[in-house]
Structure 1
């Protein structure tokens, strides 16, 4: 069977792009002919699998802008993906199944070839990620939001990354829900084999996320500062003086928000008096990330209402427990008090959970082992590949019927 995967860009810093690469790798391992078409593929900042030659990666439209004076990002993304779709339609023969993600506007174009089925992976409704704060923004987003719902409903099958996103999908795309369109849940996965036994359990808390405000990394800084101030019976016979916090993640100096937010976090650390105990690492490689995971005590995952979140899976696969907000995707992936702790998104609640690991570092080891097994059982790439393979086979079978 021939499969095609379309994505706006392929770079090594996003869970959405990670899912597309995992899909391509797993489908290829099941014997399918996989071809990725994308508008951007930077070989210096991409997932290693896209350079390995297991499947071809073809780039169309990299010359098109990603923004116009740091504005109109959505329109530019639409234009880039439309260009990719048109190139595929005009320059390639038909494929059995098309797996598209993020930008639904390509769906009606791709369905012009009636022999092809289109599966759309909705990571989260884009209209909820966009700002609608001013009249001008609302006018700008109005046609885009309309197109998103209209074109998403044209897919032969819709997949989402969690039950939380499925619920949000129903509440957001009300017309589709009224028509009886229900997305299926296909959880993203993590390659557990890339993580070996941990080297140590240093008194280091680790946060891994892109330097974006929606990732709420300031919660990690504030919680770490609150941890330093805990008194009474919370930290009996324990000292937090040696505890450190590492904040690592995707960073692009060309993106204004990345630059501004990093400075905001550094300023917050200064105000909280913990700057000397916090290490900021920008755009670490996969090897560096794995090394950080191997040495930390636990991972702090701070986004609130995150639609899924791949970082908790990576942490648990690396034998490390996770402290995350008790909302969104982590509620479905992190077993509370087994693989970590689900907390209210407050510095106080996070600090109390962090204190438990300071008091009993052995608990981090026990939870880490349980977390690892949990990921193997439910969120491995093998499990993901089996589910996706069956989904696409069913879609093709429905075409033949």
Structure 2
């Protein structure tokens, strides 16, 4: 069996990190030897599998800066990843046959100096995530964009997380027309979802509420979290006061004190609730544990998933598995995972559109249960971890030929 090293920039808590952890679990279940190399790993802010001994985790380059005076985040991320690759290839005693490189491709030329094969998992082209609102930023991004495209094409195989991302990949990397990425949906291992949870539900769920809406996402502006609050505010205005007093919204998600945007955006959302007069109807939870996340998905009535043009989106899959219907933007990954009117609702990313779908859940007490049952069956039929494991194992086997 080949030895596989997962090279990841930051083993924190997020969709990309969850995807690679599940990929590692999948390959380990097939007998492969797997370990992680990363530029940052905080045992207090990571997925359980990377801290409980399930995988060996090596950290290289955490002393390097993450930014210079609040700027140049991309350059610093590239430098940290390149350093980790240099350490892996030239200075570590880690033996490997395959490097599963994730998110940042700038290190691929370094990895090519080894005898190992390189698999690059593209969650989304980085060049499309960066703002270019000034001439200086366009000049700054130009060489970074060229580097990303060139180095991505150097990998032996490229995987993407959805058909939507595959189409964006082809439209963005014009020089890589001959590179046809394979789609590998990042399906989580649901076995943990069926185990008892030690967490106390009373610590995170409001009391005396008949219906609870839930949002789970990192506290980042690109996740469009304000949409959930605005839609909830409009919903409260549309229904009677007696009904409105019995509904609640929980805003939960990844939060890192090191990330300025996390702190700023959290305060922005709190101020928005204050402006709409719904402070008492919204609960904010930061840095929730895996157990708390499962309890929320199990006990809340509907997931409000707000990212627009999301590359894939694991949370809707997890929610549907837990029989929690999903209201999501009708773009990106949810178009491939959520069935409108059957497992939830797909709407334009506007507060009134989301509020209309939420009102349906409020008006029909049995609707959430009906949509939830259909969602569970949909995930079991279309998005099984067994199929994900088989597909990834096939990719690894073909790569070694």
TM range (shorter): over 0.9
The equivalent residue for 1:100 is: 101
**Alignment map for 1:275-286 (pairs within 5 Å):** 275-286=279-290
Q: Secondary structure at the match of 2:63?
A: coil
The equivalent residue for 2:338 is: 334
| Correspondence 1:362 to 2:360 | no
| Correspondence 1:315 to 2:319 | yes
**Superimposed CA distance per residue, residues 333-379 of structure 1 (whole angstroms, 9 cap, x where no aligned partner):** 11111111001111111111111111122221121122122222332
- Distance 1:258-1:163 versus aligned 2 partners, 3 A rule: same
The equivalent residue for 1:189 is: 187
**Superimposed CA distance per residue, residues 58-82 of structure 1 (whole angstroms, 9 cap, x where no aligned partner):** 1111111111222111111111111
| Correspondence 1:392 to 2:393 | no
| Correspondence 1:205 to 2:197 | no
**Alignment map for 1:2-151 (pairs within 5 Å):** 2-11=3-12, 13-90=13-90, 91-92=92-93, 94-113=95-114, 115-151=115-151
Which stretch shows the higher mean deviation, 2-11 or 283-292? 283-292
**Matches of 2:251 and 2:316, distance apart in 1:** 15
The equivalent residue for 2:232 is: 224
**Matches of 1:362 and 1:197, distance apart in 2:** 26
| Correspondence 1:214 to 2:214 | no
Which stretch shows the higher mean deviation, 90-99 or 221-230? 90-99
**Superimposed CA distance per residue, residues 123-173 of structure 1 (whole angstroms, 9 cap, x where no aligned partner):** 000011111111111111111000000000011110000111111111111
Give, in angstroms, the shift of residue 307 of structure 1.
Answer: 0.9
Give, in angstroms, the shift of residue 240 of structure 1.
Answer: 2.6
**Alignment map for 1:229-248 (pairs within 5 Å):** 229-230=237-238, 239-248=243-252
1:251 pairs, out of 249, 252, 255, with: 255
- Distance 1:249-1:374 versus aligned 2 partners, 3 A rule: same
**Matches of 1:97 and 1:190, distance apart in 2:** 22
**Matches of 1:328 and 1:21, distance apart in 2:** 23
Which stretch shows the higher mean deviation, 160-169 or 353-362? 353-362
Give, in angstroms, the shift of residue 87 of structure 1.
Answer: 1.1
Structure 1 stretches of at least 4 aligned residues deviating more than 4 Å after TM superposition: 196-202
Which stretch shows the higher mean deviation, 384-393 or 255-264? 255-264
**Matches of 1:138 and 1:63, distance apart in 2:** 28
Q: Is the 8 A contact 2:23 2:186 kept in 1?
A: no
**Structure 2 stretches of 5 or more lacking a match?**
none
Q: Is the 8 A contact 2:210 2:246 kept in 1?
A: no
Q: Is the 8 A contact 1:196 1:318 kept in 2?
A: no
Q: Is the 8 A contact 1:206 1:300 kept in 2?
A: yes
**Superimposed CA distance per residue, residues 181-226 of structure 1 (whole angstroms, 9 cap, x where no aligned partner):** 1111000112222334999994010001111111111110110011
Q: Is the 8 A contact 2:250 2:284 kept in 1?
A: yes
Q: Secondary structure at the match of 2:62?
A: coil
The alignment of Structure 1 onto Structure 2 pairs a total of residues equal to: 389
Q: Secondary structure at the match of 2:400?
A: helix
Q: Is the 8 A contact 1:202 1:297 kept in 2?
A: no
**Matches of 2:338 and 2:192, distance apart in 1:** 20
Q: Is the 8 A contact 2:39 2:81 kept in 1?
A: yes
**Structure 1 stretches of 5 or more lacking a match?**
none
Which stretch shows the higher mean deviation, 84-93 or 328-337? 84-93
Q: Aligned Cα RMSD in Å?
A: 1.9
Q: Secondary structure at the match of 2:26?
A: helix
